[in-house]
Amino acid sequence: MNAIIALEAVHFTYRGASQHVFADLHLSIPDGAFAVILGPNGTGKTTLLHLILGYRRPQHGKVYLAGVLQEHYTRREMSRLVGLVPQDEAVAFDFSVLDYTLLGRAPYIGPLDMPTDGDVRIAMEALEMVGVAHLCMRSIASLSGGERQLVIIARALAQQPRILLLDEPTAHLDLSNRNRILHVLRTLNQRGTTVVMTSHDPVAAAAVANFVVLMRDGKVIEAGQPEEVFTAEKLSATYGVPVRVLRLEEQILAFNPLS
Amino acid sequence: MSAVYHDYNHRIARQLRYLAVGLLCLLLLSALWGRYSGVSLLSPAELWHDPLAQRLVMTLRLPRVLMACLLGMGLAASGSTLQMIFRNPLVEPGFLGVSQGAAFGAACAIMLFGTVPFAVQGLALFFAGLGVVLSYLLARHIRFGGWVLRLVLSGIAVSALFASGVGVLKYVADPLTQLPEIVFWMLGGLYAVTWSKLLSILPVVVPSLAVILFMRWRLNLLSMGEQTAFSLGAAPTRERAIALAAAVGATAAVVSVSGVVGWVGLIVPHMARRIAGSDAQKSLPVALLMGGIFALVCDNVARTLLAGEIPLGTLTSLFGAGLFILLMTTANPWLRSTT
């Protein structure tokens, strides 16, 4: 498979910070993958998504998207290629679900133009795909946590990106909502979108991912198929605590036993 | 399902037409309404036969009612815009040092040149602009917080500086001639509007309002967080700067004529969002028209309720604060009921 995302010798330090986040980071994610990035807090997972998005630029090294150097894309081209579901999306005003989802059409609407009926149709299709079309006229502030996350994903889908980045989309969600989100993402992935999500949940990652990246202290410890990556030894090295891995009904369960 | 959405859009379009027709009627009536031979409406026959009435309407009332309309529109549109780009529904147009800067400029002009109209207006405009520039420069040097918080903080600081400057000028002003002028200017009013003053601010106000109106859907995008706005292809900093320049330009220009007129830019966007929802594509035109109506009604009361002129700023604050209290203590009816 071709790499749709490739980072080569990337070095990144936050402005004013003494410690670098990444030094000489290499990573490639295959086209059409459902990739999950696992690692402890503060290891640079969000920063990695920002680098792929172009929201932050590396001081050294190169980022390739679909084989083209990131700097060669215009802002508009980038926004059609890569979508983002951020970790916390604070919406200051009481938008309706449909008005909010329509924002996903911004890459296709000129700065002085208004959304067309076609844009409304695509936004509605995105809401239907994640199963919340019936909420379209509700206020976004009145939704539950799970519904809200689905709407944010629908907004990113209305963008019709080839690559969808999600920053811990299942954090703060209960089991059924978590599975609902993962199911939507898997369907989306099967239709050809490359999904890259960060997570704290190895069990969820093992259930949906076909490509797993283990990170610690800004370094990629291992990247590859879940079967190869999910070993007690590698997960223990990632999290710095003993991790046990069990296989149960074709699912991989990884956990840190309480002693 | 999107049929609901189209019905909703049609409803907003209908309300916009009502508001536009209402504003036009109100403009016409306001030009005829006044204290000429008692509080009354001039009849068309009177206007036809009485040359004094004609001159009154053409040279005094018409520029004044048009200015009131423009004032309300400018403040409401820039209030909506600033609330969106600062992601804060409590922001109002004067907050980046604009109002206090204008007041300081006007007070300086009154002290230096007396009440030469263009000196007052020019210096008010200049210092309003300076207030924004200072706020911006200060915000760049504040060492903590996000960009929005830094701008708000520096706006507060710059406003306070200008306010203390105004305080000093009031203290040294001649209490018989200059002080009343300064105080009256700061209370706001349209009693001295002429055609030439109105026309002189049009080159700033009209392009500013046009920019805001054309960008209005984009404002929704700019009200999102940095990451989201960026991921949707916006250049948040640059686009916010353009919207900010337009909003401040419109505010500074109208305020340079009217003096400090508060609350319009805060309350009208809230009322518009109640009617049309938060999407600026729909709520901004509604805010524009409602702002015109609100300021016109207030100004009509200001010039006719008592034999003397009531300062417009006090009336807009009274009505605005009253409406604000009413709005904040009642539930928002539009969204949840349409499911």
Residue B8, min C-alpha distance to chain A (Å): 9
Return the CATH superfamily for domain B2-338: ABC transporter involved in vitamin B12 uptake, BtuC (1.10.3470.10)
Instruction: Please identify among residues 72-111 of chain A the ones whose CB lies closer than 8 Å to any CB of chain B.
Output: 75-76, 78-80, 82-84, 86, 89-96, 98-99, 103-104, 106-107, 109, 111
Chain B residues close to A84, C-beta within 8 Å: 227-228, 231
Are B296 and B303 in contact by the 8 Å Cβ rule? The answer is no
E-only strand ranges, chain A: 3-12, 22-30, 34-38, 60-65, 68-69, 82-85, 163-167, 194-199, 211-216, 219-224, 244-248, 251-255
ipTM value of the model? 0.91
Residues in B closer than 8 angstroms to A92, CB to CB, are 87-89, 223
Whether the per-residue pLDDT at A54 is higher than 90: the answer is yes
Mutate to test the interface with B, among A97, A117, A127, A137 (most CBs of B within 10 A): A137
Q: Where are the domains of chain A?
A: 34-55+82-255
pLDDT of residue B339: 35
Going residue by residue through chain B, which has 339 residues, state the pLDDT in tens, using 9 for 90 and above: 567 778 888 888 888 899 999 999 998 888 888 877 677 777 888 888 888 888 888 888 899 999 999 999 999 999 999 999 888 887 887 778 888 898 899 899 988 887 777 788 888 888 988 998 898 889 888 887 777 788 888 999 999 999 999 999 999 988 888 888 888 888 888 888 889 889 988 999 999 999 999 999 999 999 998 889 999 999 988 998 899 889 988 998 898 888 888 889 999 999 999 888 899 999 999 999 999 999 999 999 988 888 778 888 889 989 988 888 888 787 655 444 333
The mean pLDDT of A157-172, rounded to a whole number, is 92
Match 């909502």 to its residue by tokens.
A177
H or E stretch at B198: helix B195-214
> CB distance from B10 to chain A under 8 Å?
no
Select the more confidently predicted residue: B326 or A195. A195
Parse chain B into domains and list their residue ranges: 2-338
The mean pLDDT of A188-210, rounded to a whole number, is: 90
Q: Supply the CATH classification number for the domain A34-55+82-255.
A: 3.40.50.300
Q: Tally Cβ neighbours within 10 Å of residue A162.
A: 16
**Closest C-alpha to B75, from B327, B282, B296:** B296
pLDDT, position A202: 84
The predicted structure's pLDDT at residue A73: 94
Q: Kindly state the average pLDDT of the residues A170-188.
A: 88
What predicted TM-score, i.e. pTM, was given to this entire model? 0.88
- Please name which of B183, B158, B152 lies closest in space to residue B101, comparing C-alpha atoms: B158
